[in-house]
Amino acid sequence: MAARPSTSFELERLRSFKLSRRSFLVRAGATAVGGFALKQSPAWAAIVRTDIASLPPYGNGTLPPGIRSRTVSNVNGLTVHVLEAGFEIPGRQAVLLLHGFPELAYSWRKVMLPLASAGYHVIAPDQRGYGRTTGWDDAYDGDLTSFGLLNMVRDALGLVSALGYRSVAAVVGHDAGSRVAAWCSLVRPDVFRSASLMSVPFGGTPPMPFNTANGATPPRAAPTDAEIDAQLSTLPRPRKYYQEWYRTREANNNMMNAPQGLGAFFRAYYHFKSAGWAGNKPFPLKSRTAEELAKMPTYYVMDLDKGMAETAASEMPTAAEVASCKWLTDDELGVYVAEYGRTGFQGGLQGYRRGSDPKNVAELRTFSGRTIDVPSCYISGKSDWGIYQTPGEVERMRNSACTQMVGFHLVEGAGHWVQQEQHEEVSKLLLQFLQDQPQRALIK
């Protein structure tokens, strides 16, 4: 394990993020930076309404020329921060890119220009709960309704409508954004005319009990995350499921207060889930049982007595590994540290909490039996355990949930962060997918 970063190093990194001490303190929320504990603001739990104009330019000087940053107001209760490329020429088809956790619109920076160069207007928002998008509730005890999948679909629908589009050529989602993209194309195929899902497969809609009034046996419910979590805790090496831990009150503060500092936490977490970590050699699991799930790395099935900060710290890359990481330089890493140091993680964690709510599942059952019937493809890093963390989901996606899946790609040299680790290959695959779809005029 590498030595903990020095105080001078962390302070220098903080200066390079161009954050004033005052703006950092307002939203840093008990983060340890350079060994200094920053106290949590008493106004932490509230509707987030940051004055974007008071913040440093998005990306801290690392955004490629040709990508612009701006906000779009009155989008399903939000003011949405977006990155755009290919915006200069009106009349282009649009492509919507939805990031995951803990990511940002910035995570798409390396594929935006290739798509724009091919003739598309490329739009990447900070999703509800993230970055410089405002108007969402970051209170742990607040109302989680707005973080439900169908409302996230409304966020996407509202954004493309505000930008003047009746439909888009494709919605592309990574990680948690993959789920939103899947539901966008399932619920409104007239608007989201194709879908590319990355890392997280879509296994279909939740079933509705059928013919039970006439004696049919209700389908056996799959084990819940809470039930799996309880089973994991009884293993000889006691474990816990990361999504269930993400739903706890401690999760945000654990990561914000990472003893190694927020920069070192992000560096280790991104390394741990990348192809650069030698232990990422995924394979299909036989079943969704504690014994099988425990075969995954500890970023998915954590040791019972550790939070994610401690889990990541054990896999901090060496100085040589950091220097060789061309897909995420220190300056690029600093963008995530600056944004999450200001907002915290709770906004992103709200989606995990809402997703397990029975009310959310009941809403999704409205579409029980529906499939994704627009052209779709799946792209993931070959070293990404996310492909297999829900046994059988890939097979359901390919065989039934997506009726026009025209491509299934596992990219060499990439782990979970596929669009950043191997952006050239991902851009190539996306362009091929887009160019294979029928072209129609899309702007009103």
* Predicted confidence (pLDDT) per residue in 85-131, tens digit: 999 999 999 999 999 999 999 999 999 999 999 999 999 999 999 99
Most confident of the following: 46-50, 52-56, 201-205, 438-442 = 201-205
Strand partners, 405: 376
Q: How many CB atoms lie within 10 A of CB 439?
A: 10
Residue 168 per-residue DSSP state? B
Q: Supply the pLDDT for residue 46.
A: 63
Q: Supply the pLDDT for residue 439.
A: 56
**Can you tell me the mean pLDDT for 267-274?**
98
3-state helix, strand, coil in the chain (%, to 5): 40, 15, 45
Q: Which residue pairs from 42-45 have beta carbons closer than 8 angstroms and sit at least 24 positions apart in sequence?
A: 44/138, 44/344, 45/138, 45/139, 45/140, 45/141, 45/142
Residue 35 has pLDDT above 50, yes or no: no
| CA–CA distance, 155 with 168 (Å, rounded to integer) | 14
Q: Which alpha helices (H) appear in 17-141, and where do they start and end?
A: 21-28, 109-117
**Can you tell me the mean pLDDT for 373-399?**
97
Residue 441 has pLDDT above 60, yes or no: no
Query: Global pTM?
Result: 0.89
**Can you tell me the mean pLDDT for 329-336?**
98
What average pLDDT is seen over the chain? 89
- Burial classification of residue 158, based on how many CB atoms lie within 10 Å of its CB (0-12 exposed, 13-18 middle, 19 or more buried): middle
Q: Average the pLDDT over each of 30-34, 97-101, 138-142 and give the range with the smallest value.
A: 30-34
**Can you tell me the mean pLDDT for 267-286?**
97
Q: Supply the pLDDT for residue 222.
A: 81
| CA–CA distance, 35 with 8 (Å, rounded to integer) | 10
Residue 36 has pLDDT above 80, yes or no: no
| CA–CA distance, 260 with 10 (Å, rounded to integer) | 10
Q: Tokens at residue 344, please?
A: 């915290």
Q: Which alpha helices (H) appear in 163-280, and where do they start and end?
A: 176-187, 225-232, 242-246, 250-256, 262-272
